[in-house]
Structure 1
Amino acid sequence: MFGPEGPSLRELAVQALSSVEHGYDLLAPKFDHTPFRTPDAVLESVAKALAGTGPYQDGLDLCCGTGAGTETLAGLCRRSVTGVDFSAGMLEVARRRIRPAGGPGVAWVRGDARALPFTAAFDLVVSFGAFGHFLPGELPVLFRQVHAALRPGGRFAFPVLAPPRPTRPAYWALLGFDAVMRVRNALWRPPFVMYYRAFRLGDVLGGLRRAGFAVETAPQPEFGRRDDGSPRARLVTARRLSPPPAA
């Protein structure tokens, strides 16, 4: 699961007993050598799907980590891309590894996705693999923040993988992981919020609509279909309606 350049079990244990922010500060130097980094195939599939929906001037990578999604965003935006994350360690790695030569300007901002310091600043917001760090009750705030950061007509896009069936070992592995995290957070402070099964597509789509988005989903054909014919991965695209919804 982890190569020789990845974190040791001891390092992962220390991270898991830290806060989310400090845990990712610790993991940052080796993050790109873990399975937690979004695979290139997912990034490429999203870029391909969004390429025909632009053009975009300014983009935001929400919870950017070490910047893999920010690089993808730079291929879609003409003027600027911004990566925002609350881990200073992850942002430091992103600054070192992404040094643009030509193309859009790149900026890095340390901030909380639940309190974004932007208003009508972007045409496109993307996010990859970060939603497990938000409790279901926090999603309405998150979606309102993204809505406010987008210009009217701007898009918020992110991939969603289909959950495994109960007949698959992965289903029980994720169920067990979430159970361990709940026990950990009941017994240890500060909490480390990371739940794989809390981000439910139906609830998410409804939350986006209530936040003032027109929402579409499309299969990502590169990842095929499950036995029942449903796609293994979808791209959610939420377009900001104007004016914003009443508070």
Structure 2
Amino acid sequence: MQALSSVERGYDLLAPKFDHTPFRTSESIVGATANALAGLGPFDRGLDVCCGTGAGMRVLSSLCQGRITGVDFSAGMLAQARSAYPDARWVRADARALPFTEDADLAVSFGAFGHFLPAERPALFEGIYRALRPGGLFTFAIAAPPPLTSVWHWATLGFDVVMRVRNAVWRPPFVMYYHTSPVPALCDELTAVGFTATTVDLTDLGRYRDGSPRYRLILARKPPTDPL
């Protein structure tokens, strides 16, 4: 039922059991992100974009001294997140039209970018840029492309093919792709909206046999004074 629904309706259906599925961001990724950010603060307010059931709140609650906020467009996912973090602020909104202006010092996102087509990401990044205070940081972990000889490469490629066929023959579409968010393109898009984008290897999460990292952390910093 989830696979044949829209993204929003699908996650409403999945929400009660989402944390027990492999789709939830693993604690190892959340922990590695928190460790990598520990020396980049201090941060006051935090924002988890496409928060789902609240995986990113572990990062924000450990690093932010002020209010932390989660935003998602699935009411079901927000209900699960609210029960886990009752003291946080929760906002239901489309991430492509975020209702915040200079509201956070640190913004994070986990496991969401496969749900946005490349043409939709500029609006997403512009909204996050607007939501950050001058000097604020937006960061997210992203899996590095596995080697062509990796089973994971072919498994994710096959998944993308199946989803494209599904979306070609069934409405509403369910957007979820693994191979539409290459790191160079993401950095270029972040730079285009005003961020200074860099990457660091999340070595806590291991490397492939060729020595390349399994995950990278993208760090997008808003200038201390907005040139606009």
Whether TM-score is above 0.5 comes out as yes
Q: Share of identical aligned residues, percent? A: 59
User: Residue 34 of structure 1 aligns with which residue?
Assistant: 21
Note the C-alpha offset of 1:221: 1.3
Shift in alpha-carbon separation, 1:194–1:167, aligned structure 2, 3 A: same
Give the letter for the 2:32 counterpart.
S
- Greater RCO, CA 8 A, separation 6+: 2
- Give the structure 2 partner of residue 112 of structure 1: 94
> Which amino acid in 1 is paired with 2:120?
E
Which residue, out of 71, 74, 91, partners 1:84?
A: 71
How far apart in 2 are the matches of 1:75 and 1:39? Answer: 17
**For residue 196 of structure 2, what is the aligned residue in structure 1?**
214
Q: Are positions 1:132 and 2:114 aligned together?
A: yes
Secondary structure in 1 matching 2:45: strand
**Any idea what SS the aligned residue of 2:212 has?**
coil
Aligned residues: 227
- Which among 10, 13, 22 is matched to residue 23 of structure 1? 10
- TM superposition shift of 1:224: 2.2
2:212 aligned with 1:243:
no
**Deviation per residue, 1:131-154 (Å, 9 max, x gap):** 000001111111111100001110
Stretches of 4+ moved more than 4 A in 1? none
Compute the displacement of 1:225 (Å).
Answer: 2.1
Structure 1 segment 140-151 matched on structure 2, within 5 A: 140-151=122-133
Identify the match of residue 163 of structure 1 among 145, 152, 168.
145
**SS state at 2:155 partner:** helix
Unaligned runs of 5+ in 2: none
Query: In the TM superposition, what are the counterparts of 1:60-71 in structure 2 within 5 Å?
Result: 60-71=47-58
Greater alpha carbon shift after TM alignment, 223-232 vs 142-151 = 223-232
Deviation at 1:162, TM superposition (A): 1.1
* More divergent stretch after superposition (191-200 vs 67-76): 67-76
Offset at residue 215 of structure 1 (A)? 1.1
Q: Is the 8 A contact 1:147 1:244 kept in 2?
A: no
> 2:146 touches 2:214 (CA, 8 Å); kept in 1?
no
TM-score, scaled relative to structure 1: 0.89
* 1:43-67 deviation line (CA, Å, top 9, x unaligned): 0111111111111110000000001
Of structures 1 and 2, the larger Rg is shown by 1
Aligned-pair RMSD on alpha carbons? 1.1
Show the counterpart of 1:47. 34
Hey, what's the Cα distance between the residues in 1 that align with 2:180 and 2:96?
A: 17
